[in-house]
A and B are shown apart, each in its own frame.
Chain A
Amino acid sequence: MAAKAVKSKWDADLQVYEPHKIGLPNIKQYYRDLRTRIPFAVQFSRSGIKAAHSQTVFGQMWLVFNPLLLAMVYYILVSLLSDRGGIEYLAHIVGGLFVFFFISGSISAGAGSVTGGGRLILNMAFPRLLMPLAAVRTAFFRFIPTLPVYILINIVAGARWSWNMLLGVVFLFLIVVFSVGMAAIMATLQVYFRDTTSFLPYFLRIWLYLSPVLWFVEDAESRLPAHIHPFLVFNPLFSLIGGWTDLTLRGLMPEPRIWIAAFVWAVIALVGGALLFMSRERDFAVRI
């Protein structure tokens, strides 16, 4: 008994570093490390947001200006180009666009998070997943000020209110989960293939047009031939953004297949992204 106590005293803070080229670290241990280091990711993201506007006249007010200006740009675009009517269509565009910019912001910031954090990664040992997590947090905190703008435009557009709208939170949560996974995937990809961030803006722009941001879920179904419909859910954003705008804009309950697809895509992205990232992350320090 005594011998056991002595042994555990010495092994209490034992760390073992062994080669593992392919393969995952101990998930339980990794999760514990991640939990204890979360305050760093929070502070890292917070100071990033603060530093980004530190030398501007308006400072943190840019977090509100950005979505307002963005909404204005699209309002001009809509009123000049579209024959689909003014403010209602704007509310639709803005609802989808703000959330899309959250996703694309997470993905592009996440892609650069590991390669951009070279000095940190080379000199500190911490779960590297914190880097894409901090990037997603930053994108999320840029997204939050757009919500009041969206709600305001929705009011002006004369939305019919419904309790269903509150269920939009579920889709927002799934979108956050999906973004974390995508940020982790892109961060890993960028380490091995540095051209990723150069391709990304074009890829994201195409994705924007293929997703129900400028159109509704049922538009795609009325315009496209029936045999293509089952394939629409293969675009993760078809269900994620489609469900979000259906609920928050129109108070319409999405079909079960939209719920299921959104949930499945969020889980696939998170689990796949985290596993890919974690299995490769010990290799990052060598490749930066």
Chain B
Amino acid sequence: MLRQKPEPGEPPTVSVQNLSITYRTTFEKVPTFKSAIVRLGRGERAIREVLAVQDMSFEVPRGTAMGIIGANGAGKSTLMRALAGVLPPTRGRIEVRGKISSLLALGVGFNGMLSGRENVILGGLAAGLSREAVNQRAQEIAEFAELTEFMDMPMRTYSSGMFQRLAFSVSVHMDPDILLIDEALSAGDASFKVKASEKMNELMSSARAMFLVSHSLGSIQQMCNDCIWIHKGKLMMHDTPERCIKAYTTFLEVGENAFTLDDF
């Protein structure tokens, strides 16, 4: 749980105002030159609009751990990418106060040909740390990943578990103000998982706000004090995690048992 509390008169840490995001993708069943010519002749364009997020508004004060739930394709990841500043809003506005660290995908920017140690530097710089900060933390990151002699071997020789462990270690050594966590951050074996979840708790206690996307309703209920449920790009409900989860499971007409309480 987050320990910080909003000061009186403090504006919300994250404010999403009438946010809409539309993808325009070219979509063709048969992407041939002939069909392109035919289409050009008819004056058509093979563009399909995907309304990933539609007119969403909510505010997140300091100290909120916000859970985001919804079925596949609801727009959860799109929303997270917009908060991280990767995807621009099509309409609306997002205000963010603080440094965002996103755990959207593990091992972004890693190069399999290089050693683990070099990738720690590369991954840290990719995530926005300064060179001094990366050098300071490199040792700590290496120790956390517990890869010992593998740190100096090329990453293409790593097992997928080892890759994830190193990537996770880089991601959590960032000291962010606002934490964005996309699901499936399970990294490594059972003992590493315990360590990882301890580290996550430590990160969360120092963060200003947190967003967690997960299909594991158990971890949402356990870790969050606020929740939104989105469906097909629309904000269905903004309430306590208990009520959101209840409404969501009723909506899907499956019992809560259907959601295995898989580990975070």
- CB within 8 Å of B: which residues of A? 6, 10-11, 13-20, 36-37, 39-40, 43-44, 47-48, 50-51, 54-55, 119-126, 282-283, 285-286
In angstroms, Cα B102 to Cα A11, docked, is 21
Can you name 18 A-B pairs with beta carbons within 8 Å?
Answer: A10-B11, A10-B97, A13-B98, A13-B99, A17-B96, A18-B93, A19-B89, A37-B128, A44-B109, A47-B122, A50-B114, A55-B113, A119-B105, A119-B108, A120-B109, A122-B86, A123-B84, A286-B24
9 tightest Cβ-Cβ pairs between the two chains A and B: A51-B113, A125-B85, A40-B125, A282-B88, A17-B94, A54-B113, A39-B131, A123-B105, A123-B108
Residues of A within 8 A of B98 (CB): 13
| A14–B97 touching, CB < 8 Å | yes
Residues of A within 8 A of B131 (CB): 39
Instruction: Pick the residue among B88, B95, B122 that contacts A283 (CB under 8 A).
Output: B88
Digit string of B74-116 for contact with A (CB within 8 Å is 1, else 0)? 0000000110111111111111111110101100110111100
| B88–A6 touching, CB < 8 Å | no
* CB of B52 to closest CB in A, whole Å: 10
Q: Does B183 sit at the interface, judged by CB under 8 A?
A: no
* CB of A108 to closest CB in B, whole Å: 20
* CB of B86 to closest CB in A, whole Å: 5
Residues of B within 8 A of A43 (CB): 121-122, 125
Nearest opposing residue in chain B for A122, CB measure: B86
Residues of A within 8 A of B130 (CB): 36, 39
Assuming the contacts A16-B93, A19-B92, asked whether A44 and B122 have C-beta atoms less than 8 A apart, the reply is yes
Q: Does B40 sit at the interface, judged by CB under 8 A?
A: no
In angstroms, Cα B128 to Cα A125, docked, is 9
Q: How many positions in chain B have a CB within 8 Å of any CB in the partner chain? A: 44
In angstroms, Cα B9 to Cα A93, docked, is 70
Nearest opposing residue in chain B for A126, CB measure: B128
* CB of B9 to closest CB in A, whole Å: 7
| A47–B114 touching, CB < 8 Å | yes
Residues of B within 8 A of A16 (CB): 93-96
Assuming the contacts A37-B128, A124-B127, asked whether A54 and B154 have C-beta atoms less than 8 A apart, the reply is yes
In angstroms, Cα B81 to Cα A121, docked, is 11
B window 162-220: CB within 8 A of A: 177
* CB of B164 to closest CB in A, whole Å: 15
Q: Does B10 sit at the interface, judged by CB under 8 A?
A: yes
Q: Does B256 sit at the interface, judged by CB under 8 A?
A: no
Residues of A within 8 A of B11 (CB): 10
In angstroms, Cα B78 to Cα A122, docked, is 10
| A123–B118 touching, CB < 8 Å | no
Q: Does B126 sit at the interface, judged by CB under 8 A?
A: yes
